[in-house]
Amino acid sequence: MAISADKIWFDGELIPFADAKVHVLTHTLHYGLGAFEGIRCYKRADGRPAIFRLKEHIRRLFDSCHICLMEIPFSQEEIERACIETVKANGFGDCYLRPVVFLGDGEMGLGARTNKVRVSVIAWEWGTYLGEEGLQNGIRAKVSSFARNHVNTMMAKGKINGHYVNSILAKREVMLQGYQEAIMLDTEGYVSEASGENIFLIRDGEIITTPIGGSILGGITRDTIVQLAKDRDLNVKEMRFTRDMLYVADEVFVVGTAAEVTPIREIDNRTIGDGTPGPLTKDLQKAYFDHVRGSATTHAEWLTFVD
């Protein structure tokens, strides 16, 4: 589905969607140095749209740029306001937001230092990333032959444009074989994350996820699920684990802003549990949607209302 909207925020002002253009010599287009975020706004049960965990997303955007030695020419508060203004200008309720920071045209070559740092915020209406059917009934996943980047070759804690070539290769590889998502191992053979989501397994009531100090991106949805699990007095353990631990898990699910909370029913042709979303997965999925789209106010600090 083609992306459409009325307005895009670009370098400090709202402009018509069709006018948001860059030169073909834009540095980031050639070399991949840039940072972005994926954020969702939901229309809640009372009809009011609220952006979910906006402050945390924008902080991570600034962290990513700091890692890349890119100085954003706006404050965090200004980018937060830009996100709110973009949603309002387009009249959206439910929508996806993509703030992106990139180097414009000017110098070429890897050492270019004088190119202008440019910033845009785009919003569009986008359903769940892995599909509504997958959200309800689970998806099929496959371990990719492409390993997740080592922590000393790429900066894992930055949501950096060029890093996603690694994810694209993994995603395309498994989709060509009939799967919906790729699971990626780190360079030592332990499970890292999916191509665009963090991963959780459940075994005998214990929830296990990969540690934040490894090769994973520190997901904001991951943090949300960990907090919601703790709110329910569920035991959450961060530890390294192998692919065969996924095979014998009772439940497996992936989380991310785009994918939300999506169960996995099969990995590498092995059925997970009984092949349907498990009870803890469904409970955490329900809790998540109660907080983003329902009427839950337990974590009111996660919500930034647009109106």
DSSP assignment of 126-171, as one string? ---TT-HHHHHH-EEEEE-SSPPPPTTTS-TTS-BGGGHHHHHHHH
Last residue in a domain, options 124, 147, 163: 124
157 and 266 together in one domain: yes
pLDDT at 2: 81
Distance separating alpha carbons of residues 186 and 105, to the nearest angstrom: 35
Which positions are catalytic? 159
* Gyration radius of the chain's alpha carbons: 19
Range of the domain at 119: 7-124
Closest CA to 83 of 21, 14, 19, 5: 14
Task: Please provide the average confidence, as pLDDT, over all residues in the chain.
Answer: 97
pLDDT at 258: 96
The verdict on residue 81 lying in a domain is: yes
Instruction: Kindly report the backbone phi and psi dihedral angles of residue 233, in degrees, each rounded to the nearest multiple of 5, phi listed first.
Output: 60, 30
pLDDT band at residue 1 under the 50/70/90 scheme = low
Conformational region of residue 213, where left means phi above 0, alpha means psi within -120 to 50, and beta covers everything else: alpha
The verdict on residue 307 lying in a domain is: no
63 and 179 together in one domain: no
Total structural domains within the chain? 2
Domain harbouring 76, CATH code: 3.30.470.10
93 and 193 together in one domain: no
- Two tokens, residue 19: 């006018």
pLDDT band at residue 307 under the 50/70/90 scheme = confident
Last residue in a domain, options 124, 158, 188: 124
> Are the beta carbons of 182 and 121 closer than 8 angstroms?
no
| pLDDT tens digit sequence for 96-135 | 999 999 999 999 999 999 999 999 999 999 998 999 999 9
pLDDT band at residue 271 under the 50/70/90 scheme = very high
137 and 228 together in one domain: yes
List of residues 6+ apart from 225 with CB closer than 8 A: 200, 255, 261, 284, 288
| pLDDT tens digit sequence for 47-66 | 999 999 999 999 999 999 99
136 and 268 together in one domain: yes
